Structure 1
């Protein structure tokens, strides 16, 4: 059977859930979440 994969070795592929992340990434995610919640809930509540 021919291998038509575009990757050199599919067994060595790394996907996001498998990659490590540190405190910096957690902080960025928390900041983005906080800004999103402010825009979604606080700003409309202030405009009422």
Structure 2
């Protein structure tokens, strides 16, 4: 299938070998370490506010 996990870039796993590999793993990017633009932060804040307004608005409308 289309698995693109860079398997050819990784050394074989050997539990007996405690040496670190000589080659760095491919760079990975995860959300907490990523830099965000002001536009992305604004979009996230708007989505959060709309979600909160809908959640609490529906709850108060049903009371």
| TM-score, scaled relative to structure 2 | 0.51
**Structure with bigger gyration radius:** 2
Q: Which runs of 5+ in 2 are unaligned?
A: 1-9, 14-23
TM-align CA RMSD: 2.5
* Residues matched between the structures, number: 44
Deviating above 6 A after TM superposition, structure 1's stretches of 4 or more consecutive aligned residues are none
| TM-score, scaled relative to structure 1 | 0.60
Pairing 1:1-48 to 2, within 5 Å after superposition: 3-4=11-12, 9-10=24-25, 12-48=27-63
Q: Which runs of 5+ in 1 are unaligned?
A: none
> Which structure has more helix as a fraction of its residues?
1
